[in-house]
Amino acid sequence: MALTGVLRPGHAQLRVLDLEEGVRHYRDVLGLVETGRDASGRVYFKAWDERDHNSLILRQADQAGVDFVGFKVANKATLDQLEADLKAYGLSTERIPAGDLMETGERVRFKIPTGHLIELYAEKKMVGNGLPSVNPAPWGKDSEVGIAPLRFDHCLLYGPNVNQTLDLFTKVLGFTLTEYVTLPDGETKGALWLTCGIKAHDIAFVEHPEPGKLHHLSFLLESWEKVLRAGDIMSMNKVPIDIGPTRHGVTRGTTIYAWDPSGNRFETFCGGTQPYPDWDPIHWTWEGLGEGGGLDYPQRKLHETFLTVVT
């Protein structure tokens, strides 16, 4: 399919309680590449196979969590049109000047019904992945550092009003609903998986009474074997694991969930469905999420921490 409009997840700014401890975790254990530090003290990273300058930004704060999530759009005209569409929908937007984030162009920021800040941008400096553009090798020196994910893949956010958020993402931003979970009443959607391409998901939401909460940021690996290797590296570095290694029923992805030193959950993820926009979304019942293996297919159970621990 032709990629137009919103292209993909671009970046997330994460709050950590100890900046250098966070840097060591995301650089040395997860294996992201540090690409810069700015005057305000923020530290920038990219996964080794990403071309853009940054996809994860860390800043020190008194409370863990996520400040905002950004999506890259096709071009400046698309950015302008989407801002107009957001305003017509009834949302207020804020223009953030180029350079506020390192090597990143102007951004359009808005608050969604779950209480999260989402932003769109069209320009970010491309620094490449360390391989030549002609006859490249399949991997380079940075792909062997730590867990070494290929890219920042998606995020799961917790907050209220997920059905209003579904309306916004599908009607204004052009996302497709790929899978959803209904609450025990059998009708109300309580969890959503949305894509702007043909991935299993680029962003997901779960109904939660507190606004603006982070469940996890997810980083893509290329095989189940690499997920198992990630588990070894986490154990070697005494990283506390929440769930896994296992497979989801929802999305079919293989996964490990773990916590960074500040208590932010992160995921190492592989696989997943590749739904086209004309496919009907998959419906999971509340019972199916647990006993049906939607969350953890091998064990067919819900994990209390997965449902309750957010930052």
The domains located in the chain, with CATH, are 6-125 (3.10.180.10), 151-308 (3.10.180.10)
The pLDDT of 17-42, averaged and rounded, is 98
The pLDDT of 244-270, averaged and rounded, is 95
Does the pLDDT value for residue 176 go beyond 90? yes
The pLDDT of 271-293, averaged and rounded, is 90
- DSSP letters for 239-275: PPEEEEEEE-SSTT-EEEEEE-TTS-EEEEEE-----
pLDDT of residue 186: 78
Beta strands in 146-291 (DSSP E): 151-159, 176-182, 189-195, 203-207, 213-220, 241-247, 254-259, 265-270, 282-284
pLDDT of residue 303: 87
The pLDDT of 222-239, averaged and rounded, is 97
pLDDT of residue 2: 57
For residue 198, give the DSSP letter: S
Does the pLDDT value for residue 204 go beyond 80? yes
Does the pLDDT value for residue 1 go beyond 80? no
Does the pLDDT value for residue 297 go beyond 90? no
The pLDDT of 220-247, averaged and rounded, is 96
In the structure, how many helices (H) and strands (E) does the chain have? Answer: 6, 17
Q: Supply 295's token pair.
A: 């969350």
pLDDT of residue 143: 82
Q: Name residue 219's amino acid.
A: F
Positions marked active-site = 154, 201, 216, 248, 257, 267
The pLDDT of 76-91, averaged and rounded, is 97
Q: Which residue has the higher pLDDT, 292 or 54?
A: 54
pLDDT of residue 59: 98
In terms of average pLDDT, the best of 132-146, 186-200, 222-236, 278-292 is 222-236
Does the pLDDT value for residue 184 go beyond 90? no
pLDDT tens, position by position, 132-165: 889 998 888 878 899 999 999 999 999 999 999 9
pLDDT of residue 238: 97
pLDDT class of 302 with cuts at 50, 70, 90: confident
CA dist., res. 162 & res. 69, Å (int) = 16
